[in-house]
Amino acid sequence: MKIALCQINYHIGNFDYNVAQVIKSLKQAREDGADLAVFAELSISGYPPRDFLDFNDFINRCEFAVSLIAAECIDIAAIIGAPVFNKTGKGKRLFNAALFLNNGRIEQVAHKALLPNYDIFDEYRYFEPGRDFHVINFKSERIALTICEDLWNVGAEQLYTFSPMEKLETQHPTLMINIAASPFNASQAETRRSVLKENVAIYEIPLLYVNHVGAQTELLFDGGSSVLASDGSIAAELAYFDEDYLIIDSDALKTGKYSENKSDYSRIQLIHDALIMGIRNYFSKLGFNKAILGLSGGIDSAVVLVLAARALGPENVWGVLLPSRFSSEHSVSDAIELSENLGTAHEIISIEEPFSSIQNVLSDLFRDLPFGLAEENMQARTRAVILMALSNKFGHILLNTSNKSEAAVGYGTLYGDMCGGLSVIGDVYKTDVFELARFINKDGTVIPENIINKPPSAELRPDQKDSDSLPEYDLLDQVLYQYIEAFKGPDEIVALGFDKTLVARILRLVNLNEYKRHQTPPILRISSKAFGMGRRMPIVAKYLG
């Protein structure tokens, strides 16, 4: 049987667009001789629809969209994901469903049974878990149809008490199909391959896996839809970070021998490509195409400028240099050189006059108090006022350039350098920002070497360096990773060889600055635990504070 894998970039709630893309792929699959076309989890609505699912109107529109696609399923069948009403009278009002469409109608429905409720997932908030499992008899295959998490209850640590495939196996399936919305993080591709391979090893039948691709605000979907033969080899892997389409012969997957056919990305290339896709989709799905950002001459704003230029085109990116009395000559010249290398527009606006004006306004109240944090933050907020004024006047979206290390310990100014419409590298540790810069320069100098090599500095007071206030980033990032991503407490981190006083200081800073992170822009997620919707912490807690 010939099966088309259709990897599409959907748009949440944009039913006309989603239906048009599905029907376009469906028609192409039929022309190419496919018997079945497979689309991703909740492809009708886009993923994650979140509280749109509470609106009957939203679900009714999903149903209407399904009817339009079903009408096209003549001489070809389709599997597609959509939310559907739970008509049993018990439990939550919706199911997360995979619909088998054939002969112009819905012929069979599979309900997602394992509903993730951790990190960025909150599916049990909306959906009732499926409890009935039936293979789909279609042409020469008995299809075990599952949805994303339904295949993930494998390995040593299992979150659920059963696996849907255990139920379906008793019905002697000949083929597994899994439709998914599996968000990206830098290690997810390898984890996903391991999970898919383990399922094939257990059930000894081929597996077709179709994933989302594209960005939905902070969540990035990398695609990588896959075909696994019955011997566990990856017979094919679709594109990463782009739409793709493939027709395979299911019979060949049971008899042929395949060498591994998978994408070979380095970790830093995955992050680079994911961030570019995230910026591009955030702008396109909101209907914007112009970006603005503050260029400091430092590595963070340099990397964000490059990523934005590659995502939107250099003609659509505007870098604004906002020097103060503490800015070095190199900061300005380095930023100009970077902008010229990229072909982006740039502007130089000194903040000396507005900063001095604010100082004068407050001089009677500040009296003879020494220059300190208040004056440093006034500079950052002055820059933010200018950048937001330009954003409002010309319709550009302001890109935030704070990194994860800074966000973790509160090394940033609320309503200053922490403002913006999108945080591009807010989930990228400072050490990885340096790696991104080196990756960007792998084929020639884009970011001036002086930007990469000079000690990081906020340049808000004379001779300031980040290391005056923070541990060196190589050390800081290791401790942050153990606390944020690995969930290790202070004693466990100290046991890894880190200084006890240093660990206590870093963890205290992380927890004390939760209030700042609650007020930041959406952060593009590239790690397994990003600040934002996936890390939910109380602000007024005393733990390690």
Q: Classify residue 121 by burial, with Cβ atoms within 10 Å: 0-12, 13-18, 19+.
A: middle
Provide the CA 402 distance to its chain's centre, in angstroms: 17
Contact 477, 346 (CB under 8 A): no
Contact 376, 458 (CB under 8 A): yes
Within 10 angstroms of residue 266's Cβ, the number of other Cβ atoms is 11
pLDDT at 455 over 90: no
Contact 465, 456 (CB under 8 A): yes
pLDDT at 362 over 70: yes
Query: One-letter amino acid identity for 363?
Result: S
pLDDT band (50, 70, 90) for residue 458: low
pLDDT computed for residue 257 by the predictor: 66
pLDDT computed for residue 264 by the predictor: 84
Q: What are the structure tokens assigned to 132, written together? A: 């009935």
**Distance in angstroms (rounded) separating the CA atoms of residues 149 and 393:** 45
The average pLDDT across 208-228 equals 98
DSSP 343-404: T-EEEE---HHHHHHHHHHHHHHHTTPPS-HHHHHHHHHHHHHHHHHHHHHHTPEEEE---H
The average pLDDT across 495-509 equals 97
The partner residues of 101 in beta bridges, in order of sequence, read 78, 106
pLDDT computed for residue 468 by the predictor: 77
Query: One-letter amino acid identity for 12?
Result: I
pLDDT computed for residue 328 by the predictor: 74
Give the start-end residues of each E strand in 103-232: 105-111, 136-138, 141-147, 175-179, 207-210, 213-216, 219-222, 226-228
The domain made up of 270-466 is a member of CATH 1.10.3470.10: no
The average pLDDT across 104-113 equals 98
**Distance in angstroms (rounded) separating the CA atoms of residues 236 and 252:** 12
pLDDT computed for residue 291 by the predictor: 98
pLDDT band (50, 70, 90) for residue 256: low
**Distance in angstroms (rounded) separating the CA atoms of residues 408 and 373:** 19
Beta pairing, strands 234-237 & 226-228: antiparallel
pLDDT at 456 over 80: no
**Distance in angstroms (rounded) separating the CA atoms of residues 366 and 96:** 59
pLDDT, the chain, mean:
95
pLDDT computed for residue 82 by the predictor: 98
Contact 324, 351 (CB under 8 A): yes
pLDDT band (50, 70, 90) for residue 196: very high
Provide the CA 415 distance to its chain's centre, in angstroms: 24
> Is the bond leading into 48 cis (omega within 30 degrees of zero)?
yes
CATH class of 2-255: alpha beta
Contact 85, 494 (CB under 8 A): no
Whole-structure pTM value: 0.95
**Distance in angstroms (rounded) separating the CA atoms of residues 197 and 207:** 9
pLDDT computed for residue 91 by the predictor: 96
C-alpha angle 430/432/438, rounded to 5°?
115
Query: One-letter amino acid identity for 168?
Result: L
Catalytic residue numbers? Answer: 41, 112, 148
pLDDT at 518 over 90: yes
C-alpha angle 528/532/537, rounded to 5°?
95
DSSP 51-104: GGGG-HHHHHHHHHHHHHHHHT-SSSEEEEEEEEE--SSSS-SEEEEEEEEETT
Q: How many CA atoms lie within 13 A of 189 on its CB side?
A: 26
Which stretch of 151-160, 294-303, 322-331, 415-424 has the lowest confidence by average pLDDT? Answer: 322-331
pLDDT at 43 over 80: yes
pLDDT at 463 over 90: no
**Distance in angstroms (rounded) separating the CA atoms of residues 382 and 268:** 34
pLDDT band (50, 70, 90) for residue 77: very high
* pLDDT tens track for 258-306: 767 777 899 999 999 999 999 999 999 999 999 999 999 999 999 999 9
Q: What are the structure tokens assigned to 455, written together? A: 């000690």
Sequence ranges of the domains in the chain: 2-255, 270-466
**Distance in angstroms (rounded) separating the CA atoms of residues 438 and 268:** 10
pLDDT at 6 over 90: yes
Three-state DSSP at 21 gives helix
Q: What are the structure tokens assigned to 266, written together? A: 């380095």
